[in-house]
């Protein structure tokens, strides 16, 4: 009996996506969920936001509905629309409506990309009303207790046109994500790829130095995701210079002089 229980426990743990916390973000997420507060995650690309949400949804045993927002995404894309089906018009729920009906976590990735009319839908859902009015059908859907809205965006790409209005931002608890501290990032790289700790620490050290480089014109710094890619290539037996070029230099820039500068700096760092 005990073995069966232990096996069940192990299976459940194995189903939870691996996530190394940087601080108290897991507890904060739990509290946000418990108190029915929406959560905003900010941070650069590839720093673990999506993984964190997947991890927390699994830990809470909740379904995760993810919507990747883009600049054409309208409120109707999220809420739903009438479609013609076999000569009849039928209402088809959008992903946000489905999430509100079904409960669980709805994750709007890169929310600032979406059209401005999306905020009209988010406001009644993210204050204490927690409702979703569907004007087209006349329905008013109340979010179930386990519903939680999580949105993320990357402040690095932010411009005046693409930022959240204060009246939207101030409806969310917010967490600022950065790249994990070196020892945690090495743990992530090693666990994700199976490279040994020294290799992981070497890559993280390299990333740390690249992130600190002055005078290299990069839009975004090298992410934890790219370090995981680089370690994956090394684990597969590819040589270091090839892995670094394919997983770090080329994804970071298209400019020949920037890439040359990076390659030189990396060669100097690696000695």
Ligand X SMILES: Nc1ncnc2c1ncn2[C@@H]1O[C@H](COP(=O)(O)OP(=O)(O)OP(=O)(O)O)[C@@H](O)[C@H]1O
Residue nearest to Mg ion (CB): 50
Backbone angles phi, psi at 260, to 5 degrees: -65, -45
50 in contact with ligand X (CB under 6 A): yes
Q: Which stretch binds Mg ion (CB under 5 A): 3-11, 44-52, 69-77, 166-174?
A: 44-52
- Please state the closest distance from residue 68 (CB atom) to Mg ion, in A: 8
The item of ligand X, Mg ion, none sharing an interface with residue 20, based on CB under 5 to 8 Å by kind, is ligand X
Q: Are 236 and 246 in contact (CB under 8 A)?
A: no
Tell whether the torsion through CA atoms of 12, 107, 68 and 111 is positive or negative: negative
The item of ligand X, Mg ion, none sharing an interface with residue 168, based on CB under 5 to 8 Å by kind, is none
| Segment 112 to 171, residues that bind ligand X, using CB under 6 A | 154
Instruction: With H, G, I as helix, E, B as strand and everything else as coil, classify residue 250.
Output: helix
Instruction: With H, G, I as helix, E, B as strand and everything else as coil, classify residue 18.
Output: coil
Determine the Cα–Cα distance for residues 121 and 78; give it in Å rounded to an integer: 8
DSSP H or E run through 55: helix 49-60
25 in contact with ligand X (CB under 6 A): no
Q: Are 56 and 105 in contact (CB under 8 A)?
A: yes
| Segment 176 to 235, residues that bind ligand X, using CB under 6 A | 180, 188, 192, 224-225, 228
223 in contact with Mg ion (CB under 5 A): no
Q: Which stretch binds ligand X (CB under 6 A): 7-15, 17-25, 57-65, 158-166?
A: 17-25
Give 113's DSSP letter.
Answer: G
The item of Mg ion, ligand X, none sharing an interface with residue 171, based on CB under 5 to 8 Å by kind, is none
Instruction: With H, G, I as helix, E, B as strand and everything else as coil, classify residue 180.
Output: coil
- Please state the closest distance from residue 186 (CB atom) to ligand X, in A: 11
Q: Are 45 and 225 in contact (CB under 8 A)?
A: yes
Return the structure tokens found at 251: 């994804």
- Please state the closest distance from residue 55 (CB atom) to ligand X, in A: 8
50 in contact with Mg ion (CB under 5 A): yes
Determine the Cα–Cα distance for residues 251 and 238; give it in Å rounded to an integer: 17
- Out of 33, 42, 49, 171, point to the residue binding ligand X (CB under 6 A): 49
Determine the Cα–Cα distance for residues 238 and 241; give it in Å rounded to an integer: 9
42 in contact with ligand X (CB under 6 A): no
- Out of 46, 80, 94, 104, point to the residue binding ligand X (CB under 6 A): 46
- Please state the closest distance from residue 111 (CB atom) to ligand X, in A: 11
DSSP H or E run through 197: helix 197-212
User: For residue 250, what are the β-bridge partners?
Assistant: none
**Sites of contact with Mg ion (CB under 5 A):** 50
**Sites of contact with ligand X (CB under 6 A):** 18-20, 43, 45-51, 154, 180, 188, 192, 224-225, 228
């Amino acid at each position: 009996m005990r073995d069966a229980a232990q096996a069940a426990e192990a299976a459940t743990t194995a189903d939870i996506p691996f996530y190394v916390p940087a601080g108290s973000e897991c507890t904060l997420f739990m509290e946000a969920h418990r108190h029915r507060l929406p959560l905003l995650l900010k941070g650069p690309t590839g720093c673990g936001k999506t993984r964190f949400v997947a991890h927390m949804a699994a830990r809470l045993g909740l379904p995760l509905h993810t919507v990747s927002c883009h600049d054409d995404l309208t409120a109707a894309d999220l809420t739903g629309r009438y479609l013609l089906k076999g000569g009849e018009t039928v209402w088809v729920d959008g992903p946000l409506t489905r999430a509100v009906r079904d409960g669980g976590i709805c994750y709007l990735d890169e929310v600032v990309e979406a059209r401005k009319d999306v905020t009209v839908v988010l406001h009644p859902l993210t204050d204490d009303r927690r409702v979703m009015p569907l004007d087209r059908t006349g329905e008013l859907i109340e979010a179930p207790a386990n519903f939680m809205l999580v949105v993320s965006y990357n402040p690095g790409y932010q411009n005046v046109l693409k930022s959240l209005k204060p009246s939207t931002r101030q409806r969310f608890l917010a967490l600022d994500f950065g790249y994990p501290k070196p020892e945690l990032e090495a743990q992530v790289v090693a666990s994700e790829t199976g490279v040994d700790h020294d290799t992981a620490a070497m890559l993280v050290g390299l990333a740390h130095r690249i992130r600190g480089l002055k005078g290299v014109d990069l839009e975004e710094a090298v992410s934890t995701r790219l370090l995981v890619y680089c370690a994956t290539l090394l684990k597969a037996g590819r040589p270091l210079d090839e892995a670094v070029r394919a997983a770090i230099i080329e994804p970071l820039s298209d400019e020949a002089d920037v890439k040359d500068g990076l390659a030189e700096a990396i060669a100097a760092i690696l000695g």
